[in-house]
């Protein structure tokens, strides 16, 4: 009955000609000036009139009004939804949907300010929560998250009853819990909702708890009143800088601001009479103490015991400075503090797990980059400074394959074995042409491979240029595996980890289950005895060098998927590869795995402690390796045979 009476009043308040209008136009014509010049103070009255119409077109009108697509026709003051079409408007009747055209000069655009648009947006949320369009409901939840209020809590709960989409229903339930924790009039309901949030690390839940625990600083003489929900008492000089604490006292009218040298000098200058100030010759005011003394005489003030321009400690006597919760209910803030502590503890565990995944991912990259070096170093005792360039060769192989085969999945399948073959062939060529002739001359081998490294980089620059080349991953490797708000890892890194496991298994099987592996182990442990048994150590060295170089080529394809391919990319991994081999144990595949895990974990830990300086992590890692080999010179898993003591 009240609704009918209200609508009749709206109709009677409108011009007589408005009797033929639809319900929305009738409500707007009751006070068109309020619509045309809407403000945050008056727009709610207009929205109330519109809401009573219960028109099915209300949502579309509010959306258009918020988007500044509503105009008022100059001839009769009627409101329409308008779309610009050159010099004309295409008008849509807000009640019937009928369209017409009007010159743009004959209409006035309604341009609500940001405050009015926020109020309209809040009103729209109630409609959009039940919108048949899924995206519209999600947009409404996003808007409600930003501008939540007590009056929208019940509409949200009502919309949850018939929500057909399970994902949107879960989003509504989570948002209802957060709004209940903040706005429900029943403290018990708020405390229960806060307790449920203690099991979540979602950033929205953490933000809601933070809002409940928001504080401001207050200063009182004596003790805080019982009406204030005190978070903690602040000690000037410890919890709060002394000057900042005293400024709060001055702002509260509980102390006088200390006189600054600038204030003092201004007062002295203003009081100059002839050549004196307060009977003191101006010429004698050539030091601070004289100026303060003259100021004391001029102002009649007594010099503080701590000196002019300083903060008297006596100003803080019988004064309490404290943080006060904005939330007045102590039980609610106690529950929020307990939930916040539980959430932060859970978040720390998740962040530790995320750091562990990052370390595992980095370790798998280092293992792929270093395992080939471990095999060649263990069998031949050669320090190959060009090992990083085999990584670069593999990466460029992947890039070239992608330019020929545009299907990224197929190109990756082709690139991995091709990179192994090309980098392996390059390794065999290096061993046949250079390494074999420099055996047992480690310094000359090191210098020669270093020179070859530079030469290979220059060749790559001549062929591919100096610009970085992309190696695009397939769509199924895009994005990340999101476990929680704090734990995620890119699918590329997951793939690299699995690739590292595949190569670990393959190398172990080759070394343990094949004749080639038996011969490699024999040459590694005792080359003289192996030669006496008829094993061709030269052939084994060549095959081993090719195997190690081929693995480096595969590592190059994997690394190129998340890092751009350049001629210098291999140089960035040579140091880590050597550190991994030395720490793990020269010639040991399992040792290389352990070394990669230790190096990767240590580097991520150092980067976490000092995230702004990645160069520091490299420096600390080198220092760690130097210290480590002092206590365990043969690595974590020392190799038997050749290096045994």
Per residue in 220-278, pLDDT (tens digit) is 888 888 888 999 999 888 888 888 888 888 888 888 777 777 888 888 888 888 788 87
Residue 535 confidence (pLDDT) above 80: no
**Domain final residue pick, 154, 183, 212:** 212
157 and 85 housed in the same domain: no
Mean pLDDT of 70-84: 88
Residues spanned by the domain of 252 = 215-325
| Residue 303: pLDDT band with limits 50, 70, 90 | low
449-466, pLDDT tens digit by residue? 889 889 988 998 888 888
Task: Please tell me the predicted confidence (pLDDT) of residue 273.
Answer: 82
Task: Say what the pTM is.
Answer: 0.67
236 shares a domain with 175: no
* 574-586 confidence digits (pLDDT tens): 878 888 888 887 7
Q: What is the per-residue pLDDT for 42?
A: 83
| Residue 330, domain member (yes or no) | no
> Is residue 345, in this structure, part of any structural domain at all?
no
The pLDDT score that the predictor gives to residue 12 is 45
- Predicted pLDDT at 341: 93
Residue range 476-502: average pLDDT? 82
**Gap between the Cα atoms of 415 and 31, Å rounded:** 72
Looking at residues 191-201, what average pLDDT do you find?
Answer: 89
Same domain, 442 and 497: yes
Other Cβ atoms within 10 Å of 19 Cβ, number: 10
Question: Does 613 score more than 70 pLDDT?
Answer: no
Determine the pLDDT at residue 632.
81
Q: Are 644 and 622 in contact (CB under 8 A)?
A: no
Q: How confident is the model at residue 25 (pLDDT cuts 50, 70, 90)?
A: confident
Confidence of residue 425 (pLDDT cuts 50, 70, 90): very high
Question: Considering only 290-294, 316-320, 361-365, which range has the smallest mean pLDDT?
Answer: 290-294
- Residue pair 605/359 in contact (Cβ under 8 Å)? The answer is yes
At residue 587, the pLDDT reads 66
Give the lowest-confidence range in 113-117, 243-247, 609-613: 609-613
CA distance linking residue 508 with residue 485, whole number of Å: 37
The verdict on residue 416 lying in a domain is yes
**pLDDT score recorded for residue 640:** 59
How much is the pLDDT for 238? Answer: 86
> Are 208 and 234 in a shared domain?
no
How many angstroms separate the CA atoms of 586 and 458, rounded? 30
Q: Is the domain of 43 the same as that of 104?
A: yes
CA–CA distance, 524 with 149 (Å, rounded to integer): 73
What mean pLDDT do residues 88-107 have? 88
- CA pair distance 423, 392, nearest whole angstrom: 9
| pLDDT over threshold 80, residue 356 | yes
CB-based contact 519:529 (threshold 8 Å): no
| 453 vs 563: which has the higher pLDDT | 453
Question: d(Cα 136, Cα 129) in Å, to the nearest integer?
Answer: 8
List, as one string, the DSSP characters of 485-525: SS-EEEHHHHHHHHHHHHHHHHHHHHHHHSHHHHHHHHHHH
Residue 491 has phi, psi (to 5 degrees) of -65, -25
- Domain shared by 407 and 310, yes or no: no
Per-residue pLDDT at 562: 79
Higher pLDDT, 642 or 435: 435
546-567 average pLDDT score: 85
CA–CA distances in Å: residue 468 to residues 147, 207, 401, 465, 475: 45, 41, 16, 8, 21
Q: 312 lies in a domain?
A: yes
Q: Of 520, 551, 573, at which residue does a domain stop? A: 573
Whether residue 472 sits in one domain with residue 461: yes
Same domain, 557 and 449: yes
Looking up tokens 């760690």, which residue turns up?
Answer: 624
629 found inside a domain: no
Kindly indicate the confidence band of residue 10, based on its pLDDT and cuts at 50, 70 and 90: very low
Confidence of residue 379 (pLDDT cuts 50, 70, 90): low
Tell me, yes or no, whether 371 and 247 share the same domain.
Answer: no
Quote the pLDDT of residue 401: 92
Answer whether residue 599 shows pLDDT above 80. yes
Which of 7 and 283 is assigned the larger pLDDT? Answer: 283
Whether residue 222 contacts residue 320, with contact meaning beta carbons closer than 8 Å, is answered with yes
What pLDDT shows up at residue 304?
59
User: In terms of pLDDT, which residue wins out, 266 or 334?
Assistant: 334
pLDDT at 418: 93
Mean of per-residue pLDDT scores for the chain: 82
Q: What is the pLDDT of residue 15?
A: 45
323, β-bridge pairs:
217, 232
Which has more pLDDT, 514 or 459?
Answer: 459
What is the average pLDDT across 175-182? Answer: 91
| Per-residue confidence band for 338, with pLDDT thresholds at 50, 70 and 90 | very high
pLDDT of residue 574: 80
Tell me the CA distances in angstroms from 148 to 58, 138, 141, 142, 330, one per residue in order. Answer: 22, 14, 9, 10, 22
Q: Answer whether residue 617 is part of any domain.
A: no
Give the SS3 label for residue 72.
strand
Is 584 domain-assigned? no
| Residue finishing a domain among 573, 593, 608 | 573
> What integer pLDDT is reported at residue 580 of this predicted model?
83
Average pLDDT over residues 175-193: 91
Does 194 score more than 80 pLDDT?
yes
Residue 625 resides in a domain? no
Question: What percentage of the chain carries pLDDT values higher than 90?
Answer: 11
Say what the pLDDT of residue 308 is: 59
Query: Could you tell me if 318 and 377 lie in one domain?
Result: no
What pLDDT, on a 0 to 100 scale, did the predictor assign at position 66? 85
One domain for residues 108 and 170: no
Only one residue has tokens 């014509």, namely: 29
Question: Which range among 264-268, 335-339, 569-573, 640-644 shows the weakest confidence by mean pLDDT?
Answer: 640-644
269: nearest Cα among 261, 304, 258? 261
Above 60 in pLDDT, residue 489?
yes
DSSP string for residues in 596-640: HHHHHHHHHHHHHHSTT-HHHHHHHHHHHHHHHHHH-TT-SSPPS
Residue 162: which pLDDT band, with cuts at 50, 70 and 90? confident
Whether 326 shows a pLDDT value over 70: the answer reads: yes
Residue 520 and residue 432 share a domain = yes
The total number of structural domains in the chain stands at: 4
For residues 402-430, give the mean pLDDT.
Answer: 90
> 3-class DSSP state for residue 216?
strand
Backbone angles phi, psi at 286, to 5 degrees: -105, 10
Top mean-pLDDT range of 369-383, 478-492, 602-616: 478-492
């Amino acid at each position: 009955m009240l609704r009918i009476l209200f609508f009749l009043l709206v109709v009677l308040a409108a011009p007589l000609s408005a009797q033929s209008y639809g319900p929305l136009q009738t409500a707007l014509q009751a006070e068109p000036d309020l619509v045309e010049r809407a403000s945050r103070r008056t727009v709610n009255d207009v929205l109330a009139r519109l809401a009573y119409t219960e028109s099915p077109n209300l949502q579309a009108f509010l959306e258009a009004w918020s988007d500044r697509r509503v105009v008022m026709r100059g001839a009769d003051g009627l409101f329409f939804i308008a779309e610009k079409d050159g010099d004309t408007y295409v008008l849509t009747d807000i009640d019937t949907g009928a369209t017409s055209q009007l010159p743009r000069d004959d209409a006035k655009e309604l341009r609500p300010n940001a405050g009015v648009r926020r109020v309209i947006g809040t009103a729209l949320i109630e409609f959009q929560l039940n919108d048949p369009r899924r995206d519209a409901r999600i947009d409404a939840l996003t808007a409600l998250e930003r501008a939540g209020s007590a009056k929208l809590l019940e509409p949200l709960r009502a919309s949850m009853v018939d929500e057909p989409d399970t994902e949107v229903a879960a989003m509504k339930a989570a948002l209802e819990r957060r709004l209940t924790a903040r706005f429900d009039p029943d403290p018990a309901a708020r405390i229960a909702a806060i307790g449920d949030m203690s099991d979540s690390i979602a950033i929205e839940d953490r933000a809601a708890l933070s809002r409940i625990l928001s504080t401001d600083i207050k200063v009182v003489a004596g003790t805080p009143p019982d009406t204030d929900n005190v978070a903690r008492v602040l000690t000037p000089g410890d919890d709060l800088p002394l000057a900042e604490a005293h400024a709060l006292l001055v702002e509260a009218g509980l102390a006088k601001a200390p006189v600054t040298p600038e204030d003092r000098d201004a007062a002295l200058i203003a009081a100059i009479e002839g050549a004196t100030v307060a009977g003191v010759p101006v010429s004698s005011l050539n030091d601070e103490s004289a100026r303060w003394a003259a100021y004391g005489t001029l102002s009649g003030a007594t010099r503080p015991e701590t000196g002019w321009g300083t903060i008297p400690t006596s100003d803080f006597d019988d004064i309490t400075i404290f943080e006060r919760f904005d939330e007045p209910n102590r039980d609610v803030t106690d529950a929020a503090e307990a939930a916040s502590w539980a959430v932060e503890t859970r978040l720390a565990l998740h962040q530790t797990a995320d750091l562990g995944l990052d370390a595992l991912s980095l370790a798998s990259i280092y293992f792929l980059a270093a395992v080939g070096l471990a095999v060649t170093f263990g069998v031949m005792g050669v320090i190959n400074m060009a090992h990083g360039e085999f990584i670069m060769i593999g990466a460029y192989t992947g890039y070239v394959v992608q330019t020929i085969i545009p299907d990224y999945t197929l190109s990756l399948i082709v690139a991995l074995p091709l990179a192994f073959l090309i980098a392996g062939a390059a390794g065999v060529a290096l061993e046949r042409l250079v390494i074999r002739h420099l055996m047992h001359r480690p310094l000359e081998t090191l210098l020669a491979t270093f020179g070859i490294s530079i030469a290979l980089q220059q060749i790559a620059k001549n062929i591919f240029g100096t610009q970085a080349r992309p190696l695009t991953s397939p769509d199924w490797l895009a994005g990340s595996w999101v476990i929680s708000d704090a734990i995620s890892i890119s699918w590329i890194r997951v793939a690299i980890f699995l690739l590292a496991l595949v190569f670990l298994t393959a190398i172990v099987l080759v070394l343990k289950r094949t004749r080639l592996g038996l011969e490699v182990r024999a040459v590694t442990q005792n080359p003289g005895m192996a030669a006496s048994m008829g094993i061709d150590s030269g052939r084994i060295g060549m095959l081993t060098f090719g195997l190690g170089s081929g693995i480096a080529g595969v590592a190059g394809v994997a690394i190129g998927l998340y890092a751009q391919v350049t001629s210098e990319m291999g140089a960035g991994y040579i140091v880590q590869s050597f550190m991994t081999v030395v720490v793990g144990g020269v010639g040991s595949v399992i040792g290389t795995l352990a070394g990669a895990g230790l190096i990767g974990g240590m580097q991520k830990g150092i980067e976490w402690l000092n995230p702004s300086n990645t160069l520091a992590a490299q420096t600390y890692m080198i220092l760690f390796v130097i210290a480590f080999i002092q206590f365990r010179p043969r690595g974590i898993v020392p190799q038997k045979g050749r290096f045994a003591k």
